[in-house]
Structure 1
């Protein structure tokens, strides 16, 4: 009797392990279209790995992250990324960082990271930050942060940071993906290529089409 119970437990554990190992990894890109011709295919959900014997210290290194970013954006902020594109050694490790520099009254506009939760720490200045929950609540969680304060933005939710001080501000963000992605709401909605039909946007935002046409005519610059 004891042996039969042990067998049942062992079988259950084996099946459980197989199910767990068979689950898909989290997505590291927006989509993956199946390729019928292997010659047209590319490696997905990560990057090809270098032979470990050929790895060097520089693969895990990024210089000058302490230097302020040059703010050219009309919203008054600049994001300096430290993800797998800048640090090859981050591949498969599921983490990345970003430095955000804010001009006085500068804004990191409402955006989402489709593949990552973000934790932000203020190094200098005063930031008004917040995120909005999903439908139907659409509840705003907001806080004013000072030097040394930390705030979390849950994965996929729209969030923002605004410098409410009269001096420049700096923050460092850590993100739970090597390639978190970013969708800046205004850029995506009004600066898409090709443009979203203005009838659709006029009805969605409940404004006149002239307002939509004006917004679509603006230069939507990435941070």
Structure 2
């Protein structure tokens, strides 16, 4: 049985505090949704730059999706045991570093591995986002918050390929396709700072371990 610091299971937020909490978790969710599809339009350029085979190119989006699907239950359990804020922050660091590795990857093997790590980060964060909304927002505002969550997920999936195409064509600082992944760095760092300062801590008080 793991030992962990007992946290308050509920920390209800209202007004401006609730809005900031919601913004932090929804920005994280938007990053997750965008990164699931943002690479598609850049795949031909990634293949040209890294010399990836056709099989490797299929693994770049698949590795992200696979580790995400496999890690969801474990990700939720980690938040229950060790605190959702703590796990949220750790995941933000992991996802941001994985995005950096994706952006500087010069081989298909490193790209696939980094995308798999990104997927792990997403699997960890999604349960924390949902649980944080559930324990910090009450009444009619909770339904609105979950409605915004659904909208962000949908928008991220739709906008991902378009944003990937725009960033690649813009060739910001000569980075080309790399910017679609490196853009996560400033967003991730900002979310880390705001999450550390503004997210409430919570866990499941009766969580006893992985079973």
Q: Give the TM-score normalised by structure 1.
A: 0.18
More strand by share: 1
Q: Give the TM-score normalised by structure 2.
A: 0.19
Higher relative CO (Cα under 8 Å, sequence separation at least 6) belongs to: 2
Larger radius of gyration: 1
